Amino acid sequence: MEILNHNILGQMPKVKIITINFEGKSIVAREGQSVASALMANGVHKLGHSRNLSQPRGVYCGNGRCQSCIMTIDGIENVRSCKMLVKEGMIVKRCTGDPDVRRTL
C-alpha cells in the first residue's frame, strides 16, 4: 500500500519510476526506495529461507542490523536489501541460506 496523499504531510512528491528484475520478473520501483521496500510494495514478503530449518526470511528490523533481508543483488551475495537503494535494471535474487561466515571473510 502506498500513501500518495497524507493527512498531515499533504501530497507526496512525484518520483521517477524505474524497473528492477526480481528472479526473472520485471517489477516497478520508485527512485530512492530500498530494494526491500520495493519488493514489499510489489507483494513479495518472503526474501529467502534459513539454511538449517528452511524457514522463510523477510524484513525484520529494517535498518540492516538483523541481516534477515539479505539477498543477491547484481551478483553480489548477502547484500542487506533494506539498506540498498534500487537502481534501474538491478538484478535481485533470493539467497538460498544463511551467510557462510567462512566464505565471506
What is the value of pTM for the model shown?
0.81
Class of domain 16-97: alpha beta
Spell out the residues 6+ positions from residue 102 whose beta carbon is closer than 8 angstroms to its own.
none
Residue among 1, 2, 6, 36 nearest 22 (CA): 36
pLDDT digits (tens, 9 = 90+) for 42-79: 999 999 887 777 788 888 888 888 888 999 999 999 99
Q: What is the pLDDT of residue 94?
A: 94
CA distances from 21 to 74, 84, 91 (A): 10, 15, 5
Q: What is the pLDDT of residue 56?
A: 86
98 pLDDT above the threshold of 90: no
Per domain, the residue ranges of the chain are: 16-97
Q: What is the pLDDT of residue 1?
A: 60
Residue showing cell 551467510: 99
Give me the mean pLDDT over the 8-25 stretch: 92
HEC per residue, 32-60 = CCEHHHHHHHCCCCCCEECCCCCCEECCC
Confidence of residue 11 (pLDDT cuts 50, 70, 90): confident
- CB hemisphere CA count around 83 (13 angstroms): 13
101 pLDDT above the threshold of 60: no
